[in-house]
Amino acid sequence: MAKTKQKKAVHKPVEIPRNDGIPFDATIFEGIHINRSAVERRAATLTKRRSVKKQWQAAWLLKAVSCIDLTTLAGDDTRSNVYRLCAKAKSPVRQDLLEAMEMANAKLTVGAVCVYHNLIPDAVDALGQSNIPIAAVSTGFPAGQIGLEEKLKQIELSVAAGAKEIDIVVSRALVLNSDWKGLYDEVAACRKACGDAHMKTILATGEIPTYTKVAKASWVSMMAGSDFIKTSTGKESVNATIPVSLVMIRAIREYHELTRYKVGFKPAGGIRQAKQALQWLILIKEELGDEWLNPDLFRFGASSLLGDIERQLEHYVTGRYSASYRHPMA
C-alpha cells in the first residue's frame, strides 16, 4: 500500500548569496563567554521536546539524505571504492522504497560526494552529468600541519581537478593561542584560493578546549568568508556533538543578524544513526529555521549514516526491520 507522499523531502535549489566576509574586527566577538552548563542543558532537551514519528519521520529522513556529504576518507580508498560511492550518491535509496512512498520521481540524491584530492578525477568520471558536487578535503587534512603556501596550492589543485567544494582545516595552534587575526588571514587566503568553489572551514572542535574558543573561531571563520563552518574532520577522538553544534549554530545566527549573510553548517564524524540525523535537523529547525533545512545551508559529513536511514525507511514501508548488511552505504 502506498504511503503518504513526502513532497517536503525534495530540494529545490535557490540562489543564496555567498558569504563575502567582513573586515576583521575583534571587538565583535572578544566579549563572548559561553556558559557550558547552559549549553549542555539546552542540548539535552532536544529529543525530549520534539518527537517525529510515522510519515513525518520518513519525510525528515528523506530530507536528511539530501543533506549528506557522502564521504570516503580512508587510507585504502581506490578508484572502485569511489565509483561505488558515487553510484550510491546518485541513487541513495532503493527504488522500491521510493515507489512505496510515492517518491520515485523526486530525483533524490545526496548533497555531495567527499573524497581526497587524488580521487577527484575518479569522482568526476563516476558522477558524470549528475550535478552532484564533489567536495575535496584540503590544507593538510586532517591535522593541518603544513605551511600556508602548501595549503593554498592544495586548494588550487583540487579546484582545477573538478572540486566544487573545498573542506579546509584551520591551524589549531592559532585557535589555542587566541591568534584571531592570524586565523582570519589564513582562512581569508584559503577563501581567495577557492575562487568559485564553496569553502567549508573545519574547526576540529574536539581539539578546542572550550566552547568560548569554538564560538570565537566560528566568528573569525565566517568573517573571513567561509561558506560553511564544520565541526570536525571525523579523525579526532571527539567529533560532532549536539552541544558544540549549538554553539556554532548560534554564532551563525548572530552573524546573519549582523551581516545578512547566511552561512551553512556541517556536523561531521560519529553520525551513524538515523535518530542522530533527526536530532541535528531538529536543532537546525529550532535555532535557524526552515531556511537552513536544505543542502545549500546544511550538510552531514557521513559514510555509514545513509545505510541506517535506508533501513529505517524500509521499516516505515514494510513494518519490519531488516539486517543492516542489506543496506550497504555503497
Catalytically active residues, by annotation: 167, 230, 266
User: Taking the C-alpha atoms of 243, 244, 245 and 248 in order, what is their torsion angle to the nearest 10 degrees?
Assistant: 130
Contact (Cβ atoms closer than 8 angstroms) between residue 246 and residue 283: yes
The residue type of 64 is A
Could you identify the residue written with the cell 567536495? Answer: 135
Strand ranges, E, within the chain: 68-71, 112-115, 134-137, 165-169, 198-202, 228-230, 264-266, 300-302
**Cell (9 digits) for 321:** 526491520
Cα–chain center distance at 6: 23
> What one-character-per-residue DSSP string does 117-145 give?
GGGHHHHHHHHTTS-PPEEEE-SSTTTT-
Query: Left (φ > 0), alpha (ψ -120 to 50) or beta: where does 198 sit?
Result: beta
Residue position matching grid coordinates 605551511: 147
> Using an 8 Å Cβ cutoff, are 266 and 292 in contact?
no
What are phi and psi for residue 13, nearest 5 degrees? Answer: -55, 140
Q: Which residues contact 106 (CB under 8 A, 6 or more apart)?
A: 6, 9, 10, 62, 98
- The Cα 70–Cα 134 span in angstroms is 10
* Phi-psi sector, 276: left (phi>0), alpha (psi -120 to 50), beta: alpha
d(CA 276, CA 28): 33
Looking only at the bridges linking them, the beta strands covering 112-115 and 228-230 are unpaired
* Spatial separation of the C-alpha atoms in residues 279 and 160, rounded to whole Å: 36
